[in-house]
Structure 1
Amino acid sequence: MPHNQKQQAMALKYKLILAHLFLFAFIISVSHCDENVPLVNGLNRSSFPSHFVFGAATSAYQIEGASNLRGKNIWDVFVSKHQDRISNHSDAFVAADSYHRYKEDVSLLSGLGFDAYRFSISWTRILPTGRISGGISARGVRYYSALIDDLISKGIQPFVTIFHFDLPQKLEEEYKGFLSQKIVEDYANYAELCFRLFGNKVKHWITLNEPWTYTTMGYAFGKFPPNRCSNREFGSPDTRCLYGNSGTEPYVVAHHLLLAHAAAVKIYREKYQKIQGGQIGISLVTQWFEPYDPNSQTDVDAANRSLDFMFGLYMDPLFRGAYPTEMVKYVDKERLPTFKPQEAAMVKGSYDFIGLNYYTAQYSQDIPCDKSQKNYLTDSCVSLTYTKDGKPIGLQSGAGWLYIYPKGFYKILVHIKEKYNNPLIYVTENGVCGHNEWDKPFDLQRVNYHQKHLTELRRAINDKKVKVKGYFVWSLMDNFEWLDGYFLNFGLIRVNYGNKSLKRSCKASARWFSNFLQKSGSPNAANVC
């Protein structure tokens, strides 16, 4: 190489090295200083309506700990029995210890500028046996009362989930929980107790979190408790079940979840809503489904069918009192329950708002139906994939199931508006995970994820007039992520599980949200992180 070319090459190399060093220094400085992470595209709180609510979300089992101060639930028993199925053999018996540290967590919420906090009540913390006849725990009631009071004192609205996967073990043992219609009465009584105890201060109730996840993971795949599915022999032990039927039980459980939800809403509307002045809804999770071949009508139909089997399974009964037409067409009538006239009337319209949990998207492709298979997982006759022609639908996160596809967020919001008469919506969960983030404070992917999803949310509100009234980040803090234990981290707040100190500290995403939520004269993340 000629001497002058060598000099040019060395100069270019030197510039590249300097550029990398500058970038590295920038990353380190942002992650360790008290400066806010800069906003992009002019996106901030004022980009949304004046009364729009911004919050963060958690659930009782995933953060509270203090399992010795409540009755057992199905997750307690499952984790104790199958700890080998949880990443790093971890458990949630202490978790983030928010039961004892709730004041610290509320202060973080307030300091970051959030308007609301979505949390769940542990059924067995106030009813140790699952029933009022088994006694009400005064200690549990005091805990939630104190949490609610602390939130309100700091100007934070409580959004309370009544059931988030943690079914009382006693009810599972007695009559198999949501497989039995007996659960409807027990759940309704528990919900009414919540209304009576806390309803004067709680103005937003969520009956159920992600009934699809509870149903599918517990009764189709069988990976969550109660660990029921059809598979008896294939794969590793954690994919097999001793009991269950993936062709019938997911539909039965979904049916009873809907009836339990509707029964609770009926009680609230008839006895409490007018006096307490609150609203009640349900949180449904769904992916967005793109047709594998957008020019193929069969794939377009498959994508719509995928939505019906995930979202429509719950939303169609809530909207019109019946299961999706395509689902009725594809599932044998002896396997798909039907609503009695009075049940249909009770379920139809049983929401003041819909909570939407959105994370990711997949491609959906039509495939021939295998009539020999009687399984919820195959009934829709679709093949789902995250890749097309070797390319993923979006960047992969720390989880194998979560590919980042912000456009899907916009599309599902517009779909709900157009198909279900533009209901009032709160986005009750939206977030992305890394793994082992205890020593990784600069979570750039999470910052980017929320920027892009909030941009799509703004577009849906402004361009399509979708009635979204609030947005909740999943999650406020790193927590027990079910089978993934503490390996996957969704939090804005880092919790040090590594040395068991459980010390809270802000990631870059927390600083970004503090900047995003900044109001004139309000504190910023430098005061709390």
Structure 2
Amino acid sequence: MGSNNKALAITTLFFFQLLSSVACLSRSDFTSTFLFGTATSSYQIEGAYLEGNKSLSNWDVFTHLPGKIRDGGTGDIADDHYHRYMEDISLMHSLGVNSYRFSMSWSRILPRGQFGDVNPVGIEFYNKIIDSLLIKGIQPFVTLNHFDVPQELEDRYGSWLSPQIREDFGHLAEVCFKEFGDRVKFWTTFNEPNLFVKFSYALGKYPPSHCSEPYANCTTGNSEVEPYIAAHNIILSHATAVDIYRKNYQVKQGGSIGIVFSSKWFEPLTNSTADYLATQRALSFEGPWILDPILLGDYPSEMHELLGSRLPIFTYEERKLLLNKLDFIGINHYSTNYVKDCMLYSCDLDNYMRDALIATTGYKDGVLIGEPV
């Protein structure tokens, strides 16, 4: 697993779950420049799925398919943030937060991707959000992609399974930098791409609902290769967007750009060498899957050894494009697990980490790995 010591970790705390273990902390325990904030994604809160010239996104289509969402819910209205954003921003202000990370709906800004025009109504909506945040002293952190794409891109060429998505994402990024970059100083290209590709292309739980046995049962897809193709295109789309920002906007606008990934932590279940090596494999299939190509020019060695030809290869030109394409790293950490080796020993594979040949558990000798929150 490669080192990521070339990256700068972002010093932002999203603190909705500062519970009993840190209840004694106060604002004075942090520097004046430390950012406390909240975070959302466009599909989860905006609603107004057919308003303001917005097109259908992959999630709009997916959630309307019978059986895809347990209770049949959709994001058609959601929290109605599209109409009630001023109330939401006032609530944030009342909490005392000074930063807010949110994503912009690709379908609202470019309803047809590069196959159509920029939507001025969508631009106006996000301008109002950004301006309202700044008036309240809240720093906007903008995510360019949080799992959603215009459905037209899925229908035309398979979205993240096609290299064509890199150009489309670059176009989206440039529009956003041009329209909002005078006020937005923190950009995130992708939110949790490592989680997204697994749920979308290995387990079939997110659109486009691709998977294959033994990972899961879907009508289409190949869980052995598609997650790695999609991740490959996302990584290169990230590099494309950062390259555009660095060349055309960063010096003038004075902002920074990074990526956010989902990162579990793992500890070996036993002191055995097998479990130790299994833990290294597990870690490699998390953040380093996305970060190592950006920082070191290639995927972790553990992934190469296990996946072989299933793992895409970066060309020389792509490696050059990837070089140092990070100003900061964002980390979403939800849980920690013990790891048991399934390469040398028979065990039930963790389906989420199946390709790492491991099993995971939260317990050791009947004791939970940490206090639940």
Same fold (TM over 0.5): yes
Give secondary structure in 2 for the equivalent of 1:208: strand
Counterpart amino acid of residue 144 in structure 1: Y
Tell me which residue corresponds to 1:347. Answer: 322
Counterpart amino acid of residue 171 in structure 1: L
Partners of 2:217 and 2:365 lie apart in 1 by 32
Counterpart amino acid of residue 141 in structure 2: F
Tell me which residue corresponds to 1:115. Answer: 98
Instruction: Kindly state the Cα deviation for residue 114 of structure 1 after the two structures are TM-superposed.
Output: 0.3
Question: How many percent identity over aligned positions?
Answer: 46
Instruction: Kindly state the Cα deviation for residue 315 of structure 1 after the two structures are TM-superposed.
Output: 1.2
Is residue 331 of structure 1 aligned with residue 331 of structure 2? Answer: no
Indicate conservation of the 8 Å contact 2:340/2:359, yes or no: yes
Give secondary structure in 1 for the equivalent of 2:325: coil
Equivalence map 1:239-258=2 (5 Å):
239-258=216-235
Q: 1:382 aligns with which of 344, 358, 368?
A: 358
Counterpart amino acid of residue 213 in structure 1: L
Indicate conservation of the 8 Å contact 1:207/1:281, yes or no: yes
Q: 1:261 aligns with which of 238, 245, 270?
A: 238
Higher mean Cα deviation, 346-355 or 157-166? 346-355
Tell me which residue corresponds to 1:274. Answer: 251
Counterpart amino acid of residue 287 in structure 2: F
Partners of 2:38 and 2:276 lie apart in 1 by 35
Tell me which residue corresponds to 2:158. Answer: 176
Counterpart amino acid of residue 291 in structure 1: P
Give secondary structure in 2 for the equivalent of 1:56: strand
Higher Cα Rg: structure 1 or 2? 1
Counterpart amino acid of residue 255 in structure 1: H
Tell me which residue corresponds to 2:11. Answer: none
Tell me which residue corresponds to 2:109. Answer: 126
Tell me which residue corresponds to 1:165. Answer: 147
CA distances 1:92-128 after superposition (whole Å, capped 9, x unpaired): 1000000100000111111111010100000000111
Counterpart amino acid of residue 338 in structure 2: Y
Partners of 2:332 and 2:26 lie apart in 1 by 22
Counterpart amino acid of residue 324 in structure 2: G
Indicate conservation of the 8 Å contact 2:59/2:148, yes or no: yes
Q: 2:194 aligns with which of 205, 212, 215?
A: 212
Tell me which residue corresponds to 2:6. Answer: none
Give secondary structure in 1 for the equivalent of 2:284: helix
Counterpart amino acid of residue 74 in structure 1: N
Q: 1:258 to 1:47 in 2, by over 3 A?
A: same
Tell me which residue corresponds to 2:4. Answer: none
Counterpart amino acid of residue 253 in structure 1: A
Tell me which residue corresponds to 2:86. Answer: 103
Equivalence map 1:442-453=2 (5 Å):
449=373
Indicate conservation of the 8 Å contact 1:369/1:379, yes or no: no
Instruction: Kindly state the Cα deviation for residue 61 of structure 1 after the two structures are TM-superposed.
Output: 0.2
Give secondary structure in 2 for the equivalent of 1:159: strand
Equivalence map 1:129-528=2 (5 Å):
129-131=112-114, 133-231=115-213, 239-293=216-270, 295-332=271-308, 334-368=309-343, 377-395=353-371, 404=372, 449=373
Indicate conservation of the 8 Å contact 1:387/1:393, yes or no: yes
Partners of 1:65 and 1:119 lie apart in 2 by 14
Q: 1:89 to 1:38 in 2, by over 3 A?
A: closer
Counterpart amino acid of residue 114 in structure 1: V
Counterpart amino acid of residue 79 in structure 1: T
Count of equivalent residues: 349
Partners of 1:285 and 1:177 lie apart in 2 by 21
CA distances 1:66-112 after superposition (whole Å, capped 9, x unpaired): 00121111111111113x23132111100000010000011111111
Equivalence map 1:18-57=2 (5 Å):
42-57=24-39
CA distances 1:194-235 after superposition (whole Å, capped 9, x unpaired): 000100000000000100111000011111111111138x9x
What TM-score, normalized to structure 1? Answer: 0.64
Q: For structure 2, list consecutive stretches of 5 or more residues without a partner in the other structure.
A: 1-18
Partners of 2:21 and 2:98 lie apart in 1 by 19
Partners of 1:230 and 1:369 lie apart in 2 by 25
Instruction: Kindly state the Cα deviation for residue 155 of structure 1 after the two structures are TM-superposed.
Output: 0.7
Give secondary structure in 2 for the equivalent of 1:106: helix
Indicate conservation of the 8 Å contact 1:128/1:136, yes or no: yes
Indicate conservation of the 8 Å contact 1:248/1:376, yes or no: no
Higher relative contact order (CA 8 A, sep 6+): 1
Q: For structure 1, list consecutive stretches of 5 or more residues without a partner in the other structure.
A: 1-36, 396-403, 405-448, 450-529
Indicate conservation of the 8 Å contact 1:65/1:94, yes or no: yes
What TM-score, normalized to structure 2? Answer: 0.89
Partners of 2:234 and 2:344 lie apart in 1 by 28
Give secondary structure in 1 for the equivalent of 2:318: helix
Partners of 1:39 and 1:73 lie apart in 2 by 40
Partners of 1:127 and 1:95 lie apart in 2 by 21
Instruction: Kindly state the Cα deviation for residue 283 of structure 1 after the two structures are TM-superposed.
Output: 0.4
Instruction: Kindly state the Cα deviation for residue 287 of structure 1 after the two structures are TM-superposed.
Output: 0.5
